[in-house]
Amino acid sequence: MNTPFHISLPCVSIKETKSFYVDCIGATYGRNTQNWIDVNLFGHQITFIKAKKFNFNNPNYIFEGKILPSFHFGVIVDLDTWKSIYSKLDGFKLDLVTESTYLKDQLGEHQSFFVKDPNGYMLEFKTFKQTTDIFKA
């Protein structure tokens, strides 16, 4: 079953959040008001709700020698889409965590990069060498 996820997150600015996800990432948006916006990120619904400043502790962890954010969300896309998004975002000179390959020559091999959105959330884009490995242990 292919079921889209939904997540709701606080944001500081609806305008900046919309600009990042629509103009930079290429997502579309749906229902919205001046206080919230639904973003369609590859068929998954993210609702951003305008909030006052919030304190968000973003601890990290180490995976294969790289420091990665422990709190993040993302999307798994095919390799061509992944390369296109990375190239596009790199052109915007955003705070990108350089692309890396993880689990090289192992079950679950994938390429990944992170980008920080205007709210301080880390958004991960992944592409798997074999899509059938996504949930294999």
DSSP letters, 4-71, are: --EEEEEES-HHHHHIIIIIII--EEEEE-SSEEEEEETTEEEEEEE-S-------EEEETTEEEESS
What is the domain range of residue 38? 6-50
Q: Encoding tokens for residue 128?
A: 């798997």
Write down the pTM of the prediction.
0.76
Question: Is residue 118 domain-resident?
Answer: yes
Q: pLDDT digit string (tens) for 10-41?
A: 888 999 999 999 999 999 999 888 888 989 99
Q: pLDDT digit string (tens) for 41-80?
A: 998 989 898 887 666 565 676 788 887 776 788 899 999 9
The domain that contains 78 carries what CATH number? Answer: 3.10.180.10
Same-domain status, 43 and 86: no
Residue 56: the pLDDT is: 58
Residue 4: phi and psi, rounded to 5, are: -70, 150
Question: Is residue 42 domain-resident?
Answer: yes
Same-domain status, 122 and 67: yes
* pLDDT at 101 exceeding the cut of 80: yes
Same-domain status, 105 and 129: yes
Residue 6: the pLDDT is: 81
Same-domain status, 26 and 78: no
Same-domain status, 66 and 120: yes
Question: Is residue 93 domain-resident?
Answer: yes
